[in-house]
Amino acid sequence: MTTFVLVHGAWHGPWAWDRVVPALHAAGARTLLPDLSAPGDHGLHDHAATVAAAVDAVPEDDELVLVGHSYAGLVVRQAADARPRSVDHVVLLDGWAGPDGSSLFGLAPDAFATAVRAAAAAVGDGRLIPAPPPAAFGITDPGDAAWLAQRLVPQPLRTFAEPTRLGRAVARIPGTAVHCRPPTYPFEQFGAGVGYRTLPLDGPHDVMLTDPERLARTLLGIRSFRNRKREP
């Protein structure tokens, strides 16, 4: 049995995978959807601990594919590094990734970090980043845009600023970087830079909303049945 642990990106919630999960279940796979959208001043390390706890809930005999969308690329790699004997494959879906000490702000263009910090400073106490419009995620269909806009939530600024803590274990876990086309940020290069094979997928950044069945087929094709559990 394969279990996909599907981890949503910034400003999103587990609902981001609602259209993908049925296709995975129809193929006989299981899914777990950790929730990183709880309100509060959380950081990347808090989110990685949440994902590691979800990994711990997967039966030991299952093949476990850990999928991180966008910001969660950083999160799932840190969680995988903490649970190397449990994770069989890491998938980055248009995911941010880098070596130990990388942060989203460190990987992103300076203009991105400046704009995000300014947006956070303009509301509340500056700890939360207000959600951008659906178009920022490539969602232009009016129905999908309305559906998404109702669900987006603020993102803690600390999640973008905290650097990842990685040891050597994550480098021994096979990985695939699925990068959407046309690209928004250099996600193909991020994946290649951490040693993952890269796989293009035509669609916007939030392709799980626009083409969920195609994404599900891609994930099912990535399953690593021959991988063996590794020593930490």
The residues pairing with 128 across neighbouring beta strands, listed in sequence order, are 156
Q: Chain-wide mean pLDDT for the chain?
A: 95
State the CATH architecture for 2-103+163-222.
3-Layer(aba) Sandwich (3.40)
Tell me the pLDDT tens digit for each residue of 73-82: 999 999 999 9
Q: Is the pLDDT of residue 124 over 90?
A: no
Single-letter amino acid, residue 94: D
CA angle (159 as vertex; 156, 165 as ends), nearest 5: 160
How confident is residue 31, by pLDDT bands cut at 50, 70 and 90?
very high
Question: pTM for the full model?
Answer: 0.95
Q: Is the pLDDT of residue 184 over 80?
A: yes
Q: Is the pLDDT of residue 224 over 70?
A: no
Tell me the pLDDT tens digit for each residue of 125-173: 999 999 999 999 999 999 999 999 999 999 999 999 999 999 999 999 9
Domain boundaries, the chain: 2-103+163-222
Under 8 Å between Cβ of 62 and 2: yes
In the three-class reduction of DSSP (H, G, I as helix; E, B as strand; rest coil), residue 29 is classed as: coil
